[in-house]
Amino acid sequence: MADDAPTPDPAYPGLPAPPPLGSSALPAGTFADRVVLVTGGGTGLGKAIAAEFSRLGASLVVASRKPEHLAAAEEALAPLGPVATVACDIRDADQIAGAFDAAVATFGLPDVLINNAAANFPSPAEDLSPNAWRTVVDITLTGTYLCSREFARRHIAAGTPGSIVDVGASYAWTGGPGFAHSAAAKAGVKNMVETLAVEWGPYGIQVNGLVPGLVPHEDMTADIQQNLQRNRSHAASQPALRVGLPRELGWAATFLASPYGSFISGHTLVVDGANWQRRHLTNPPVVPVREQMGRGPFEG
Ligand code: HXC
Ligand code: NAP
């Protein structure tokens, strides 16, 4: 997804571009002999996060619903290292147990769980059907809980340590006009990180959150892409004067789950160039969500 980058101004260079794809801050082999399960790892940020673990030696298990996404994971990740894919809807505890069974049979019990899968679409809150609300909350919040529960139960029973990273969103703190369902679900995820880190720390299970800023990518769903395209320049609207790159989330996730991050737990790391901290007493004029989304009047 191309971004309309602002004309460079030498007075305002913005935050520097990151190192190239394939670089790593961690030592080679940091995740050798480690198994990493990534939900939604066949697209977008999940695929980029999985790739960074693989570059550091991990064996990957990618779990999501759609065969085309599992095939995309295989195609992108197999050249980097061992990868297995498994069909799984994270709303269903039995399917999650099946995905963990498949992981155990192929590589062993996952040492790291990346709860990346989520559901979202733009909509004025008053337009959402009860089932639309439930669908997003079931996938984003309940699915994250159910995967975490399966991971923890198996590690507690085995007496082995583990690390969980939950991918969130900054509207967990700020609210998200146009995304009431997702924002509420992500607030639940952020809160759950804090609870589970305390509950499971004594068993050696670390739980953290990881929040991307605006990170456009080619797999973004059509309605989210259209919603972004309807609005003004993405880079110019960020304090960093650039958007995020998928690999930057991969580097943060691998750090949190690495031995170098093992005393960090219950924390949510925001990787967004400070965009969510923008606060002014005078903001740009309010544009109602229906206008932002080009939706007609509410019809009841
Ligand atoms: C309004 C919608 C809708 C839409 C679905 N629904 N899409 N309502 N606007 N665009 C309603 C349906 O009408 C239905 O309600 C209910 O939601 C369930 O729809 P299904 O299609 O049956 O659900 P399902 O097949 O389970 O699909 C889930 C999904 C879909 C969320 C609707 O979009 C999906 O699979 N998404 C996965 C990928 C994804 O969401 N990625 C975004 C992550 S990005 P009724 O009442 O009719 O039964 C992210 C951060 C982005 O989270 C940040 C942006 C900057
Ligand atoms: P994406 O490409 O649409 O990824 C969503 C993934 O979730 C898909 O791979 C999808 O795979 C999987 N998924 C959805 N429902 C599922 C279910 N019921 N069971 C199993 N898997 C399911 O979006 P993305 O941008 O990479 O988002 C990844 C994460 O980053 C999400 O948590 C999102 O909220 C967060 N985020 C992204 C941005 C951004 O700018 N990109 C910003 C803030 C937060 P299947 O369809 O195959 O199931």
pLDDT, tens digit, 9 for 90 and up, residues 200-253: 999 999 999 999 999 999 999 999 988 888 877 899 999 999 999 999 999 999
Q: In angstroms, what is the span from residue 179 Cα to ligand 1's centroid?
A: 11
Exposure of 95 by Cβ count < 10 A (0-12 exposed, 13-18 middle, 19+ buried)? middle
So what's the pLDDT on residue 258? 98
Tokens of 244: 């995020």
So what's the pLDDT on residue 2? 45
Catalytic residue numbers read: 171
So what's the pLDDT on residue 1? 46
Q: In angstroms, what is the span from residue 125 Cα to ligand 1's centroid?
A: 14
So what's the pLDDT on residue 283? 84
111: how many CB neighbours lie within 10 A of its CB? 21
Residue 135 beta carbon below 6 angstroms from any ligand 1 atom? yes
What parts of the chain have a pLDDT lower than 70?
1-6
- In 21-142, which residue ranges form alpha helices assigned H by DSSP? 44-55, 67-77, 93-106, 130-137
Atom of ligand 1 nearest to the CA of 182: 52
DSSP H or E stretch at residue 39:
strand 35-39
